[in-house]
Chains A and B, each alone.
Chain A
Amino acid sequence: MSAFSAVRIPFPAVVAARSAGEKPSSPFLCSPAAAPSIHSSPLRPPRLGRPPLAVSSDVLSSQKPLGSNSSPSYQAVISRDEALELYEDMVLGRVFEDMCAQMYYRGKMFGFVHLYNGQEAVSTGFIKLLETRDSAVSTYRDHVHALSKGVPARAVMAELFGKATGCCRGQGGSMHMFSEPHNLLGGFAFIGEGIPVATGAAFSSKYRYEVLKESKPDGLDVTVAFFGDGTCNNGQFFECLNMAQLWKLPIVFVVENNLWAIGMSHLRATSDPEIWKKGPAFGMPGVHVDGMDVLKVREVAMEAIARARNGEGPTLVECETYRFRGHSLADPDELRKADEKSHYAARDPLVGLKKYILEKNLASESELKAIEKKIDDIIEEAVEFADSSPLPPRSQLLENVFADPKGFGIGPDGKYRCEDPKFTEGTAQV
């Protein structure tokens, strides 16, 4: 019986490591007529033949590993439409999170709220390359992943306000953003517990192709798992790296290394702080990238996602990034030093992309301002929508405990409890 790990997907693989300038033989994502071009259709990422810029893994290539931070000043070139898409997505993330903070301090939302300010390049860089059929799995810092994946801002805001119109009917909250139509698989409160779920989604993708024989002319459905530096010391991380590589699952593990796990510095918690190195330990490429630069992130993401699509297996991508705010809105953020904060503030991903767009004349200042205005309007509308939405009624309490409400069992009268018309009002005994 053949071991399935040896099955190759029969479309041409885009091998990660090749000498610069060589074009892929028949890139399946581009139209056959056009040579792979950086100016190809804006919705398709260009198929580049050059290796990722910040590869640090021996596994990927026979080149000597590059220094982890010494990516050259060369930057990926993107089209105008792509640039504007990226810019809009990052502005959406930033403005949304700022509005969250405002709303929290005004008492519209409660509990633990973890904001993503400063890390937008990672979410935008990866998720904007995904299709709807691909899955994203996040942690409690998930608002912006949800937005990038396409969940409407009003649905996320309503969820944060605990309203019935939220993407999870108000039952999840800040840390549990889910969206089935957008294949956003959560939102998890405990760190590390989302990684196996992501691994399962990737397993599903492989299963559908190999066992159910679903045809996948455009490659496997890919799963991208986001998590932080603190999670990289957790067992589930390592267990999933092992399994994903063992079975060559179509998954990308994205570490958002913002150097802090609440008040615990990554350097104080980790014996070897270079997380990308842990990839090759399991036999997969480990890549380090500057997570404050959306273009660099996107370049690496393209490669990693292509590998997964082709059936070549997982990649571990460590994005060096930073959160401009505290761990959560309850965190006084007293331990991080001012110079560290200002170092990363100077590398604000939005400022960086804006500067790039203007320098390369991809768009004008006023066009960018128009995007910002558009986003402001979207966010305001989202707040109005959330404010005016109804709170969940009492009848909602028991509705989603079981997919099949027979799980509440048979009552003393012989009928299933869920057959009681008053059941979902929570008056029936459970």
Chain B
Amino acid sequence: MAAALQTAALLSASPNLIDPQRFRVGLSARSLIGRRGSIFVVRSDGRTSGFFNAKSRSGNLITNAVATKADASTSSTASKPGHELLLFEALREGLEEEMDRDPHVCVMGEDVGHYGGSYKVTKGLATKYGDLRVLDTPIAENSFTGMGIGAAMTGLRPVVEGMNMGFLLLAFNQISNNCGMLHYTSGGQFKIPIVIRGPGGVGRQLGAEHSQRLESYFQSIPGLQMVACSTAYNAKGLMKAAIRSENPVVLFEHVLLYNLKERIPDEEYVLCLEEAEMVRPGEHVTILTYSRMRYHVMQAVKTLVNKGYDPEVIDIRSLKPFDLYTIGNSVKKTHRVLIVEECMRTGGIGSSLRAAIIDNFWDYLDAPIMCLSSQDVPTPYAGTLEEWTVVQPAQIVAAVEQLCQ
């Protein structure tokens, strides 16, 4: 399952990141094993080929170009500052740096140790830090999450991994009652500097239960902070920030984004947990998104730009609390808002964001806020049905056109 799940995600680079040489090869040489035939390619004009483009599902798969291209890509990037890595490696780098920095940081979860994590985020860490610091737990989410909370209360800084965020439904008791509320009910005596992380979101035909969006369930829990990473750069920065935070933080990763390749700085950096990220400044409409939908938005943006629109794209990153400053400044400039999320329509992050914008920026709106969400359906297995449950770039284009009439 791990190999299948590691198939490349849809990649739509924002304008300043396009480098055809670099993106021709979406995979490094070492990640080839187990991935025959599952190559994706991003062309410089933004067209993609691969599993996730509805039009070119059958064609355009380059199955044998990788070996030769790998050399070319490494030599051409060697001279640039920073280093290239995949998103899951960026998460690991952030985690490793924090574990080096503070011996109280430890990892717990299923298969995080010897197996290296089902998405390889913790690969090699158990060998380096030992079985106690990178703890392979039995399959008991509620209890090991609670154990992480007890450890956090008594001085450690655990990073608890949910193998899939959906599994953390079993840990809801601990996450809600203890993680979120215990600092308060103890009158501030105990802090819970825990990070709960894992992949969620709709993947590639993983079925309903492995395709859940837990951010919509957790968002009401008081005392909890939630962030979602979407690029290798922000993944590492948010991981480090979450570990350093004294608050309990839930870090949402996405199953399909782990193999995004990006060049990140060599210097240490930590991002702000509460800030949103300006992806593309613009004038006509504010598009708010996060996680995987960022890429669907950016793909739609290509089409929109060609049609003469100038959308502003903000990756909200902080799902709770919302960065109303960045969002507000954008609304004040464009007066039109489109929210694109992967949560279901009912009770998702989008509905809360919409409410927050209406409460705070009503006078600046020239049109009702539009929110594109996934259908309120258990994610079907069939590929075609699955596509129709999540928001696709064409719908985003149509929504912007409607909004800007």
Contact = CB atoms under 8 A, between A and B. Distances in A.
Given A186-B182, A199-B143, A409 B174 contact: no
Interface stretch (B25-33, B59-67, B126-134, B298-306): B126-134
A204 B108 CA distance: 12
Interface stretch (B144-152, B232-240, B392-400): B144-152
Interface in A390-414: 399-404, 406-414
A193 B177 contact: yes
Contact of B140 (A3, A169, A197, A242): A242
B154 A200 contact: yes
Interface in A252-305: none
B209 interface: no
A135 interface: yes
Interface stretch (B199-207, B317-325, B368-376): B317-325
A406 B106 contact: no
B136 to A, nearest CB: 10
A243 B137 contact: yes
Interface residues on A, range: 35 or more
Contacts of B142: 196, 235-236, 239
B45 interface: no
B150 A203 contact: yes
B153 A193 contact: no
Contact of A190 (B147, B154, B173): B173
Given A172-B186, A178-B186, A409-B274, A4 B131 contact: yes
Nearest to B155: A204
Nearest to A170: B187
A325 interface: no
A204 B192 CA distance: 13
Contacts of B182: 186
B389 interface: no
B183 A180 contact: no
A236 B147 CA distance: 11
Given A198-B150, A402-B183, 16 more contacts: A1-B127, A1-B130, A172-B186, A193-B174, A193-B178, A204-B154, A211-B103, A212-B104, A242-B138, A247-B132, A401-B222, A402-B246, A403-B192, A409-B274, A411-B325, A430-B321
10 contacts: A173-B185, A178-B187, A190-B177, A193-B146, A199-B147, A201-B153, A201-B154, A207-B156, A404-B247, A409-B323
Ranked nearest first, the 6 interchain pairs of A and B with the lowest CB-CB distance are A200-B150, A196-B146, A409-B321, A168-B187, A169-B187, A178-B186
Interface of A: 1, 3-4, 135, 137, 166-173, 176, 178-180, 185-190, 193, 195-208, 210-212, 235-236, 239-240, 242-243, 246-247, 399-404, 406-414, 416-417, 429-430
